[in-house]
């Protein structure tokens, strides 16, 4: 069984985000970029499946500018077998990524697609669900545990009320949550080996996909700063301020 894993290049989670002066977006020039943390979990899970003999090949997919190859190489250094890169410099919204991923899935015919539940830059939490809908496959979102056996996959999901177990028929799409696993660090020998692993390159038009944005960003602003708190001496004073100043009671 092939496992197709989507990885996204995002601003590193340790970096403090700065809004551009013209408020058209966030500053990405000379900013450290890395693989989306949820996608690292997806790559790790796919590699563990291969190590357990439940997968034969792990393919890392990414869409975006040329620099996305660095993100794919990170996945290859972790243990993925090869990469697929759809090269485009334009803005990619979730539906466009889902269509590209579907086109690659139609070509590669994987038994399982694993993606992070969301990216830490836009927090959309849409791509995995859209891919499942476009392909007509089963889906298991917010995976806490995954077990593949006998043509099906059992997914323990994190839901509002606790945990939910679902059994899906393969092929399927799974989105990963934080507690699924702890991604490994790539060793130096594996980083060197990753440089020789193949990465297939395509353009959106080669796959017959229109990636033109459907949503327009009007303005990006930083959230308002929080006001300093105050101390009150009595319960009566607290109630008065909650009623007349905060307006919450």
pLDDT of residue 53: 94
Angstrom CA distances, 166 to 77, 114, 133, 162, stand at 32, 16, 17, 13
The whole model's pTM is what? 0.87
117-129 pLDDT, tens digit per residue, is: 999 999 999 999 9
Q: What domains, with CATH codes, occur in the chain?
A: 2-246 (3.40.50.620)
The confidence score (pLDDT) of residue 12 equals 94
pLDDT over threshold 90, residue 224: no
Rounded CA separation 122/47 (Å): 26
Q: What is the pLDDT of residues 20-63, one digit of tens each?
A: 999 988 998 889 999 999 999 999 999 999 999 999 999 999 99
pLDDT in tens, 171-223: 999 999 999 999 999 999 999 999 999 999 999 999 999 999 999 989 999 88
Integer CA distances (angstroms), 71 to 40, 74, 80, 179, 228, in order: 10, 5, 12, 22, 41
Query: 155, 166 in Cβ contact below 8 A?
Result: yes
């Amino acid at each position: 069984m092939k496992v197709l894993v989507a990885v996204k290049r995002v601003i590193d989670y340790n970096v403090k985000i700065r809004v551009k002066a013209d408020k058209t977006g966030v500053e990405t020039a000379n900013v450290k970029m890395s693989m989306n943390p949820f996608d690292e979990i997806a790559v790790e899970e796919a590699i563990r499946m291969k190590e357990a003999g439940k997968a034969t090949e792990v393919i890392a997919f990414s869409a975006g500018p040329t620099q996305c190859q660095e993100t794919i190489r990170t996945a290859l250094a972790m243990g993925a077998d090869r990469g697929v890169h759809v090269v485009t410099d334009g803005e990619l919204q979730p539906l466009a990524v889902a269509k590209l991923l579907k086109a690659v899935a139609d070509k590669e015919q994987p038994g399982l697609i694993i993606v992070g539940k969301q990216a830490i830059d836009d927090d959309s939490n849409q791509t995995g669900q859209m891919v499942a809908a476009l392909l007509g496959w089963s889906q298991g979102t917010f995976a806490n545990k995954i077990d593949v056996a006998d043509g099906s996959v059992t997914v323990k999901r994190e839901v509002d009320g606790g945990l939910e177990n679902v059994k899906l028929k393969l092929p399927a799409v799974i989105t990963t949550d934080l507690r699924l696993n702890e991604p490994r660090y790539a060793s130096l020998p594996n980083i060197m080996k990753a440089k020789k692993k193949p990465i297939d390159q395509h353009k959106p038009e080669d796959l017959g996909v229109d990636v033109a944005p459907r949503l327009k960003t009007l303005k990006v602003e930083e959230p308002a700063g929080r006001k300093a708190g105050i101390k009150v001496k009595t319960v009566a004073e607290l109630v008065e301020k909650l009623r007349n100043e905060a307006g919450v009671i």
